[in-house]
Amino acid sequence: MEIYEGKAKKVIPLDDGKVIMEFKDDATAFNGGKKAQFKGKGWLNAQISAKLFRLLEENGIKTHFIGIAGENKLIVEHLKMYPLEVVVRNVVAGSLKKRLPFNEGTQLKEPIVELYYKEDALSDPMINYYHARALGVSEAEIKEMENIALKVNEILKEYFEKKGIILVDFKLEFGKNANGEIVLADEISPDTCRFWDAETKESLDKDVFRFNKGDLISAYEELYNRLT
């Protein structure tokens, strides 16, 4: 496996079935259409992800997280990644407004789970089970990922509620380990979730950057401080 560099992370393979995931200070939005750097973002996302992976592990979710390997680096299990993004939504925001006739901030009666094909060249299109099968992912595998995603939602929603934060929506990625198990991977951070302050409804996530809502680092720090 070669070193892989994505928009916000670098993935460096080790020889023992483990991988270093290095979080960069780069931020991109709108499929790379908007770019900037924020000193300290990599550290914040690594620390927040570590904290949330630990919380999920404690609650019975199998994740790739092994430990923290330095300031902005995590050690994780090497997985064969699925080319999918699984999005869970509790509150209407973002691209859901293009699909349903509800205003931003509307509480959904039950969570919505969506599947996307992770492919920048196609702008991560939304797909269904048929497309997933064409990509070589079985219906049973998708169902398992969706079930895990809904469990993750229950755990995180309750956890954030206690911190005065609404978990609006988030994106997960999964991989398969050497034993053929489906394992939660990638990161869980303000880059990949929408978090709103329960009182003010202010964004504590990447929407601050996407929509010029203020200082990204202050928002991420506020989130981090509430978790620690």
- What single-letter DSSP state applies at residue 203? B
Q: Indicate whether 171 belongs to the interface with ligand 5GP (CB under 6 A).
A: yes
191 binds ligand 5GP (CB under 6 A): yes
> Residue 41 interacts with ligand 5GP (CB under 6 A)?
no
Under the binding rule (CB under 6 A), the answer on residue 146 touching ligand 5GP is no
Give the residue, chosen from 87, 91, 145, 216, that forms a contact with ligand 5GP under the rule CB under 6 A: 87
Which one, of 208, 205, 168, 166, lies nearest residue 189 by Cα? 205
Stretch that binds ligand 5GP, among 37-45, 67-75, 156-164, 191-199 (CB under 6 A): 191-199
Task: Give the helix ranges, DSSP H, for the chain.
Answer: 41-58, 129-134, 139-162, 207-210, 216-227
Residues 97-126 binding ligand 5GP (CB under 6 A) are 124
Q: How far is the CB of 95 from ligand 5GP (least distance, A)?
A: 3
Note the Cα 151 to chain centre separation in Å.
Answer: 14
Count of residues touching ligand 5GP (by CB under 6 A): 14
Distance CA 30, CA 36 (A): 12
Q: Give whichever of 10 and 58 is closer to ligand 5GP, judged by the CB atom.
A: 10
Total residues belonging to the chain: 228
Place of tokens 């960069």: 24
Smallest gap from Cβ 39 to ligand 5GP, in A, equals 19
Neighbours of 130 (CB within 10 A): 9
Determine the interface stretch with ligand 5GP among 15-23, 129-137, 141-149, 189-197 (rule: CB under 6 A).
Answer: 189-197
Selected from 13, 40, 83, 94, the binder of ligand 5GP by CB under 6 A is: 94
| Contact mark string toward ligand 5GP, 193..222, x via CB under 6 A | xx-----------x----------------
- CB distance 223 to 195 below 8 Å: yes
Q: How far apart are CA 160 and CA 152, in angstroms?
A: 12
Residue 173 binds to ligand 5GP (criterion: CB under 6 A) = no
DSSP letter for each residue of 89-112: EEE--GGGGGTSS--TTPEEEEEE
**Residue 95 interacts with ligand 5GP (CB under 6 A): yes or no:** yes
**Residue in the structure block whose two tokens are 């394992």:** 183
Give me the residues that bind ligand 5GP (CB under 6 A), please. Answer: 85, 87, 94-96, 124, 169-171, 191-194, 206
